[in-house]
Amino acid sequence: MTRIQLTSDGHRAYLEAIEGAFGADIDYAMLNKIYGASPESAKGRYSPAECIGCRKERIEGNPNMAHVSTSYAERANLTTRMHNRRFTRLTKCVSKKFENHAHMVAIYAVWYNWVRIHKTLRVTPAMAAGLSETVMDWTDIVEAMVADAPAKKRGHYKKADDEISKLRHYPPQRRISDAVGRIDKRSNPRRRGAAPAPRSAKVTINRSLITPTPGPFLPGCRS
Protein backbone atom coordinates (compact mmCIF):
# COMPACT_ATOMS: atom_id res chain seq x y z
CA MET A 1 0.00 0.00 0.00
CA THR A 2 1.35 3.42 -0.99
CA ARG A 3 1.27 6.01 1.78
CA ILE A 4 1.03 9.71 1.20
CA GLN A 5 3.49 12.16 2.72
CA LEU A 6 2.07 15.62 3.23
CA THR A 7 3.62 18.84 4.45
CA SER A 8 1.73 21.96 5.48
CA ASP A 9 2.54 25.21 7.19
CA GLY A 10 1.63 26.03 10.78
CA HIS A 11 -2.00 26.90 10.13
CA ARG A 12 -3.98 25.07 12.82
CA ALA A 13 -7.01 24.48 10.59
CA TYR A 14 -4.99 21.87 8.67
CA LEU A 15 -4.88 19.57 11.69
CA GLU A 16 -8.60 18.84 11.75
CA ALA A 17 -8.93 18.88 7.95
CA ILE A 18 -6.19 16.29 7.37
CA GLU A 19 -7.37 14.14 10.27
CA GLY A 20 -10.86 14.06 8.83
CA ALA A 21 -9.67 13.33 5.27
CA PHE A 22 -6.92 10.74 5.88
CA GLY A 23 -7.15 9.65 9.50
CA ALA A 24 -3.99 7.78 10.45
CA ASP A 25 -3.20 6.58 6.90
CA ILE A 26 -0.77 9.40 6.12
CA ASP A 27 2.74 10.61 6.89
CA TYR A 28 2.08 14.20 7.88
CA ALA A 29 4.57 16.84 8.99
CA MET A 30 4.24 20.54 9.69
CA LEU A 31 6.79 23.16 8.68
CA ASN A 32 6.68 26.29 10.82
CA LYS A 33 8.55 29.32 9.52
CA ILE A 34 10.16 31.71 11.98
CA TYR A 35 10.02 35.38 11.06
CA GLY A 36 12.10 38.21 12.43
CA ALA A 37 11.02 41.68 13.37
CA SER A 38 9.70 43.88 10.58
CA PRO A 39 11.77 46.98 9.87
CA GLU A 40 10.13 50.39 9.89
CA SER A 41 10.41 50.69 6.10
CA ALA A 42 8.46 47.44 5.56
CA LYS A 43 5.42 48.37 7.66
CA GLY A 44 2.22 48.73 5.68
CA ARG A 45 3.29 46.38 2.87
CA TYR A 46 1.32 43.29 1.95
CA SER A 47 4.19 40.91 2.69
CA PRO A 48 5.50 39.04 5.74
CA ALA A 49 8.69 39.88 7.52
CA GLU A 50 12.05 38.26 6.76
CA CYS A 51 12.16 34.49 7.38
CA ILE A 52 15.07 33.68 9.70
CA GLY A 53 14.49 29.94 10.15
CA CYS A 54 12.20 26.89 9.95
CA ARG A 55 11.08 24.27 12.44
CA LYS A 56 9.93 20.80 11.31
CA GLU A 57 7.43 18.88 13.41
CA ARG A 58 6.04 15.37 12.92
CA ILE A 59 2.28 15.22 13.30
CA GLU A 60 1.15 11.78 12.05
CA GLY A 61 2.84 8.61 10.78
CA ASN A 62 6.51 8.41 9.91
CA PRO A 63 7.33 11.19 7.41
CA ASN A 64 10.79 11.47 5.88
CA MET A 65 12.06 14.68 7.44
CA ALA A 66 14.50 15.23 4.56
CA HIS A 67 11.53 15.72 2.19
CA VAL A 68 9.47 17.93 4.50
CA SER A 69 8.99 21.06 2.42
CA THR A 70 6.21 23.37 1.28
CA SER A 71 8.07 24.52 -1.83
CA TYR A 72 6.08 22.33 -4.24
CA ALA A 73 2.73 23.45 -2.84
CA GLU A 74 3.76 27.10 -2.86
CA ARG A 75 5.04 26.77 -6.44
CA ALA A 76 1.70 25.27 -7.47
CA ASN A 77 -0.13 28.14 -5.76
CA LEU A 78 2.03 30.68 -7.56
CA THR A 79 1.46 29.02 -10.94
CA THR A 80 -2.29 29.02 -10.34
CA ARG A 81 -2.30 32.71 -9.40
CA MET A 82 -0.14 33.65 -12.41
CA HIS A 83 -2.44 31.87 -14.89
CA ASN A 84 -5.77 32.69 -13.29
CA ARG A 85 -6.68 36.25 -12.44
CA ARG A 86 -9.48 35.12 -10.14
CA PHE A 87 -6.84 34.15 -7.54
CA THR A 88 -4.88 37.41 -7.71
CA ARG A 89 -4.85 39.29 -4.44
CA LEU A 90 -5.76 42.95 -3.90
CA THR A 91 -7.64 43.24 -7.20
CA LYS A 92 -11.26 43.30 -8.37
CA CYS A 93 -10.77 40.24 -10.59
CA VAL A 94 -12.68 37.94 -8.28
CA SER A 95 -15.50 35.50 -8.93
CA LYS A 96 -18.92 36.91 -8.14
CA LYS A 97 -20.42 33.41 -7.85
CA PHE A 98 -18.96 30.25 -6.34
CA GLU A 99 -20.25 28.16 -9.27
CA ASN A 100 -18.33 30.30 -11.78
CA HIS A 101 -15.19 30.03 -9.65
CA ALA A 102 -15.46 26.23 -9.56
CA HIS A 103 -15.94 26.09 -13.34
CA MET A 104 -12.85 28.26 -13.89
CA VAL A 105 -10.74 26.06 -11.62
CA ALA A 106 -11.87 22.98 -13.55
CA ILE A 107 -10.97 24.60 -16.88
CA TYR A 108 -7.53 25.57 -15.55
CA ALA A 109 -6.88 22.05 -14.21
CA VAL A 110 -7.75 20.48 -17.57
CA TRP A 111 -5.56 22.95 -19.47
CA TYR A 112 -2.62 22.52 -17.07
CA ASN A 113 -2.63 18.70 -17.12
CA TRP A 114 -3.89 17.81 -20.61
CA VAL A 115 -3.15 20.73 -22.95
CA ARG A 116 -0.06 22.59 -21.71
CA ILE A 117 3.39 21.20 -22.52
CA HIS A 118 5.74 21.58 -19.55
CA LYS A 119 9.36 22.46 -20.23
CA THR A 120 10.71 20.07 -17.60
CA LEU A 121 8.65 17.16 -18.93
CA ARG A 122 8.65 18.17 -22.63
CA VAL A 123 5.15 16.65 -22.74
CA THR A 124 1.88 17.24 -20.91
CA PRO A 125 1.50 15.79 -17.39
CA ALA A 126 -1.21 13.48 -18.72
CA MET A 127 1.25 12.02 -21.24
CA ALA A 128 3.95 11.69 -18.58
CA ALA A 129 1.51 9.76 -16.38
CA GLY A 130 0.47 7.50 -19.25
CA LEU A 131 -3.10 8.82 -19.40
CA SER A 132 -2.81 10.22 -22.92
CA GLU A 133 -0.74 9.35 -25.96
CA THR A 134 -0.89 12.73 -27.73
CA VAL A 135 -1.12 16.40 -26.86
CA MET A 136 -4.80 17.28 -26.62
CA ASP A 137 -6.42 20.56 -27.61
CA TRP A 138 -9.73 22.11 -26.66
CA THR A 139 -11.49 20.43 -29.57
CA ASP A 140 -10.63 17.04 -28.12
CA ILE A 141 -11.71 18.16 -24.65
CA VAL A 142 -15.11 19.39 -25.87
CA GLU A 143 -15.70 16.22 -27.90
CA ALA A 144 -14.94 14.10 -24.82
CA MET A 145 -17.34 16.21 -22.73
CA VAL A 146 -20.12 15.85 -25.31
CA ALA A 147 -19.59 12.09 -25.57
CA ASP A 148 -19.68 11.72 -21.78
CA ALA A 149 -22.79 13.88 -21.32
CA PRO A 150 -26.06 11.92 -20.90
CA ALA A 151 -28.49 12.12 -23.80
CA LYS A 152 -31.50 14.33 -23.20
CA LYS A 153 -34.95 12.96 -23.85
CA ARG A 154 -36.96 14.83 -26.43
CA GLY A 155 -40.29 16.15 -25.21
CA HIS A 156 -43.65 15.43 -26.77
CA TYR A 157 -45.28 17.85 -29.19
CA LYS A 158 -48.91 17.14 -28.31
CA LYS A 159 -49.43 20.57 -26.81
CA ALA A 160 -48.10 22.33 -29.89
CA ASP A 161 -50.32 20.23 -32.17
CA ASP A 162 -53.36 21.13 -30.06
CA GLU A 163 -52.56 24.82 -30.32
CA ILE A 164 -52.22 24.59 -34.11
CA SER A 165 -55.54 22.75 -34.42
CA LYS A 166 -57.25 25.41 -32.31
CA LEU A 167 -55.72 28.16 -34.44
CA ARG A 168 -57.16 26.64 -37.61
CA HIS A 169 -60.69 26.88 -36.23
CA TYR A 170 -60.40 30.55 -35.29
CA PRO A 171 -62.53 32.95 -37.35
CA PRO A 172 -60.43 35.12 -39.69
CA GLN A 173 -61.51 38.36 -38.01
CA ARG A 174 -60.49 37.08 -34.56
CA ARG A 175 -57.13 35.92 -35.83
CA ILE A 176 -56.41 39.30 -37.42
CA SER A 177 -57.51 41.17 -34.29
CA ASP A 178 -55.22 39.06 -32.10
CA ALA A 179 -52.29 39.63 -34.48
CA VAL A 180 -52.84 43.40 -34.54
CA GLY A 181 -53.10 43.45 -30.75
CA ARG A 182 -49.78 41.61 -30.37
CA ILE A 183 -48.04 43.95 -32.80
CA ASP A 184 -49.43 46.96 -30.96
CA LYS A 185 -48.07 45.66 -27.64
CA ARG A 186 -44.60 45.03 -29.10
CA SER A 187 -44.33 48.42 -30.81
CA ASN A 188 -45.56 50.36 -27.76
CA PRO A 189 -43.98 48.83 -24.64
CA ARG A 190 -44.84 50.40 -21.31
CA ARG A 191 -42.07 52.63 -20.07
CA ARG A 192 -41.26 53.39 -16.48
CA GLY A 193 -43.36 56.31 -15.28
CA ALA A 194 -45.64 56.33 -18.34
CA ALA A 195 -49.39 56.20 -17.86
CA PRO A 196 -50.94 52.81 -18.69
CA ALA A 197 -53.22 52.54 -21.67
CA PRO A 198 -56.96 52.69 -20.91
CA ARG A 199 -58.68 49.34 -20.74
CA SER A 200 -61.50 50.51 -22.96
CA ALA A 201 -59.20 51.08 -25.93
CA LYS A 202 -60.20 49.12 -29.01
CA VAL A 203 -58.29 48.08 -32.12
CA THR A 204 -59.74 49.56 -35.29
CA ILE A 205 -59.33 47.49 -38.45
CA ASN A 206 -60.19 48.66 -41.95
CA ARG A 207 -62.11 45.60 -43.12
CA SER A 208 -62.33 46.91 -46.69
CA LEU A 209 -58.61 46.13 -47.08
CA ILE A 210 -59.04 42.54 -45.89
CA THR A 211 -59.89 40.03 -48.60
CA PRO A 212 -59.65 36.54 -47.11
CA THR A 213 -59.14 33.72 -49.57
CA PRO A 214 -60.07 30.10 -48.90
CA GLY A 215 -57.11 27.93 -47.97
CA PRO A 216 -55.98 25.20 -45.58
CA PHE A 217 -55.82 27.60 -42.62
CA LEU A 218 -59.02 29.50 -43.39
CA PRO A 219 -61.78 26.87 -43.70
CA GLY A 220 -65.21 28.08 -44.75
CA CYS A 221 -64.13 31.61 -45.79
CA ARG A 222 -66.16 33.39 -48.41
CA SER A 223 -64.58 35.57 -51.07
Kindly report, residue by residue over 146-181, the tens digit of the pLDDT: 887 777 776 665 555 555 555 555 555 555 556 555
Give Cα separations from 82 to 52, 86, 108, 191, 219 (angstroms): 27, 10, 11, 47, 69
Q: What pLDDT digit, counting tens, does each position of 52-69 carry?
A: 888 999 999 999 999 999
Round to whole Å and give the CA distance between 23 and 10: 19
pLDDT value at residue 87: 86
- pLDDT class of 122 with cuts at 50, 70, 90: very high
Q: 28 or 187: whose pLDDT is higher? A: 28
Cβ neighbours of residue 173 under 8 Å, at least 6 residues apart?
A: 205, 207
Round to whole Å and give the CA distance between 30 and 14: 9
Answer left, alpha or beta for residue 55, where phi above 0 means left and psi between -120 and 50 means alpha: beta
Domain boundaries, the chain: 1-37+46-69, 84-148
